[in-house]
Structure 1
Amino acid sequence: MKIYTKTGDKGQTSLYGGTRISKASARVEAYGTIDELNAFIGVAKSQIESEETIKQLKKIQFDLFTVGSESATPADKLMLANGKSRLPLVISEKEIEELEVWMDEMEAQLEPLQYFILPGGGKAATALHVSRTVCRRAERALVFLNESEELRLELVKYLNRLSDYLFVLGRFVSKNQSEPEEFWNPNQR
């Protein structure tokens, strides 16, 4: 099977279900940004040594494929005639709560925040901060898409919680790798 199909050479792509749309559409922007986020999480993961953290990030990457597949499916193609989802998996409260549990476990080991944190630290923490900002952009892209095409709000909620998780994980990794956090303190320049 060849990887190139030439079907997108004129700026169009196929969605799940066969609908052809412009590569500049809000839907393609949304699932493309989710794909970009997944790649940045892969970069962060390559800088981390903790097996537990790697396991969490692998699960998140899997879940992002689930979010991306639903984002690439128009609402009118999402359900089969029997009322079941065409997709084998969808994001649910379970995945959102899983992120919350992981955050709570990490936050219990961190100092409370008093100031904004400047993105940085070591390579892993920096990659996690970049991932967080890409996650926020993916969330904005889904919200924008939802203004014209209805989406399940669990997708937006998952990305919102994931950006929080990536922030906490960045702090946690900095602490565990003895990399001091830098703060934005308007009283000290």
Structure 2
Amino acid sequence: MDVARRIIRKSLLKQASEIVACSRYSSKPPNPPIKDPPTVQQRSTPVPHEGHKERIPRIGDDGYAVTLMGAVKPKDDQIFHAMGSCYELCSFIGLAREHAHENGHSYVEYLKRIQTLLIDISVAISNCSYNPPNTHNSTPVLPMVSPSPLSIKGTTFSKRHVAELEEWIVEFSETLPPVEHFVIPGGGLVSAELHVALSVCRRTERKVLPLVRDGNLDGEVLVYLNRLAEFLFVISRVASHVDGAVESVYTPKSSPSTPTTSNISSS
């Protein structure tokens, strides 16, 4: 009997080891095919949710989204990368604007003006590679957003917006000492928030560049974002000045370990 048990046990162990080896080295099953993007009408159909009376359309659950002009595209499309960065930039500027308002900074309305133009740019980005909707999906998806002048294909982004930023840069730069060292982000809460907005602005440039390069977006938008980054840097220093904060500058490791600072409020 013991001999029979040992034979059965040995056989079972061998089968188990073969199963483990097969599962370890076998290739994964192919991914299921990606479904065709649903139409706007299909995506707008609400799905009832047990225990809730609200109408939840669940738009975007399938990995697709609808542009402001009604085109259905995958969420990783370059258009949504650019729009997302643009809106993130607008949001960080809004955060800095609220704190700047609390501290009585003079450039608050300038930031609001910039936010308005960023929304216009987002609408223009949404209109890139635009295909006119047919009668089946012509229902507007986001009716709360008013059409922007840039939403008309072929409309250019006015150069006066860039000129406006340049005037502001000169205006505020005259109140600051020249930059002699690399400025470390910080120098007070508002200044730090504006540095974050500056970083997001540079990323937005990189996301917008392919659309401009392919001729789908006016190149003046790229110029505006480049100038906006410069403006955000200037007023981040202004924010430190107004709040009486100390502006920290970069000190190489080969230099003395004592941090180098520049109190621009004394200028």
TM-score for both structures, normalised by structure 2: 0.63
Unaligned 5+ runs, structure 2: 1-53, 133-146, 151-155, 258-267
Identity of aligned residues (%): 31
Instruction: Give the residue type in structure 2 aligned to 1:179.
Output: A
Instruction: Give the residue type in structure 1 aligned to 2:117.
Output: D
Instruction: Give the residue type in structure 2 aligned to 1:40.
Output: F
Q: Between Structure 1 and Structure 2, how many residues are aligned?
A: 181
Distance in structure 1 (CA, Å) of the matches to 2:112 and 2:214: 32
> What pairs up with 1:156-167 in 2 under 5 angstroms?
156-167=222-233
Q: CA deviation at 1:17?
A: 2.9
Residues 1:33 and 2:99 aligned together: no
Distance in structure 1 (CA, Å) of the matches to 2:256 and 2:107: 34
Q: CA deviation at 1:29?
A: 0.5
Aligned-residue RMSD, C-alpha: 2.1
Q: CA deviation at 1:52?
A: 3.3
Unaligned 5+ runs, structure 1: 79-85
1:12-48, Cα deviation, whole Å (9 max, x unpaired)? 1112332211111111010111001111011101111
Residues 69 and 126 in structure 2, CA contact (< 8 A), matched pair in contact too: no
Distance in structure 2 (CA, Å) of the matches to 1:131 and 1:29: 17
1:44-67, Cα deviation, whole Å (9 max, x unpaired)? 011113363111011011011011
Residues 1:170 and 2:236 aligned together: yes
Q: 1:51 to 1:182 in 2, by over 3 A?
A: closer
TM-score for both structures, normalised by structure 1: 0.87
Match of 2:81, SS state, is helix
Q: 2:60 aligns with which of 2, 5, 8?
A: 8
Aligned to 1:63: 117
Aligned to 2:149: 88
Q: 1:20 aligns with which of 72, 91, 95?
A: 72
Q: CA deviation at 1:5?
A: 3.1
Aligned to 1:73: 127
Instruction: Give the residue type in structure 1 aligned to 2:163.
Output: E
Flag the structure with larger Rg. Answer: 2
Distance in structure 2 (CA, Å) of the matches to 1:47 and 1:7: 34
Match of 1:117, SS state, is coil
Instruction: Give the residue type in structure 1 aligned to 2:108.
Output: I
Instruction: Give the residue type in structure 2 aligned to 1:116.
Output: F
